[in-house]
Structure 1
């Protein structure tokens, strides 16, 4: 997610700093293994495996030939030290939402979810959660901070150097001795922000703030739920994707405000789609069953469950029974931008056996990175 321009980032610095100071007494209250994919969502993709409970098979796209072992939803979708500062209270914030998901999920399975506005809002909030609580967001945060920090330090040493010299003179009565003194003064000014970045405090405060903003933005979007015309949906380690589609191209991981839709697999049979901007009441897409049609004139427009577009040649891979003929046909795409782009699609091509056919009938959790503790 794009967190805004450098100017917007700096404009929010005072608010972020205040939040960091409020969190500082609980800085060491920490949860080591933090889920970036909600366990309740993972369980919707898991299959029962005897007395061992529900199981998934994490599949690593970077190592497709590795032996892929079964794991419980509790073991999957975790990142050690995802947030390194006051993470206990952050987990409590996520938990307030996640406790609402089971009721919403039952409404989705019954097919009457759009009759319950509170469940619709829960699903929208769930999309926002998985957009923000993600490895992608953390990478964006790190990239933007590094960019802004470098720009500000450069400005203090060039365009704003006279102001910096004057500030030091007024504060200490000393003239800065050459470029080294100027650099030392710039580093001193920026050091609190750098320290908050390095200890994870800046990320902790900003992810909470961004989650609140994402919920607000997605709340105004129309929610649709698609069902597959064939096969089933899979889940990836970045499960929610903001997509911008036009007649000529499709871009992934764009800013919410630039997206045309935000998708989140919600089980093998359902895909949550937040349409941005909201669909107008009564508006219809093409009526061939390939795109949703609104059935409600409430704000944002609700949609009934409709088939998702079929993607020729792509089926959700499933671990077949040992010795099943499908073992000879089933494979997953190698790591590539296209294979990572859509959450969890696999395909059949007869080229390779699946790594580790356990005969368990479990479902795959497709990952581009190892997300197990």
Structure 2
């Protein structure tokens, strides 16, 4: 049995263990957090959401298994083709996408709905790793670096129009990959300056157009959420945040959930705030974890993501190919960084965003895209483990 498992589930077994633990814990939390939603939309049938979420998790594990069996070097060519498609995909999303939560982030292709940002993030990270890997033993040229910076700035800027927080996460991830890829510091700071300038420009244009009655992007929403978080009237319109939206209400209800949790929590399935906290099953699932499992559960979940990051960075040392190492760094950091953004916001350390907790929050395609990323990381570690076993 052990030999069969080693043959079928290759790669870093610790990463396999982490994703299984997160998935199992996710089933418990989502079952509890989605109960209020079930009473509103499913006639009180809480099992329906649990079964759907469980099916997504099982499908996600199957995706991880399939992806990890494929040689990770094949993904460089696929992502290079998709890279030229992503700008048009983002434009299509903005003009023809499905509006959810007041913004167009979702598109429907061939009967499957997904957030275009999930695909863009995966494609850009993979391409950036491939571009940098080809330059490890060759001196960087101005043309090469301009190409790298161009794609980072273009996609982060376009993404910021509909999903500002994801654009920030992607921008920081790109910076880290380029830093690990030994890009000269002067170009790193230039790229950072350009990305930050583009993000500020997009917000400014959006806020200005909003004042003229034209809706463009999420700049006004970002500004209002920063005002609500800092309690400062930044644009001096004598209104802090947006009283018509529930940003402050979400934060307050999350704080109540965390306060109720204490050290050991009030017990699995006993959450009270799930009945009042909007998006308790997705954007604020960490607050429910703290309420039900207390500080102990919160630290355990945080520890699992830190463990995942550690394994991603640790496997870089064992990787003989630069492409594999940069993929491990970029993909694991992107997942863990999103998780920490989610957790920080849930405990009141940042303005409200729509970031979910990877592999924990209820969702369909978001779980699948995360599974693809983890599968690629395991494919990298599988290759290195196979080489070790041969030696």
Specify the TM-score bucket, using the shorter chain as the normaliser. under 0.3
Name which structure has the greater RCO, CA cutoff 8 Å, separation 6+.
2
Larger fraction in strand: 1
Larger fraction in helix: 2
**Which of structures 1 and 2 has the bigger CA Rg?**
1
TM normalised by structure 2 equals 0.22
TM normalised by structure 1 equals 0.22
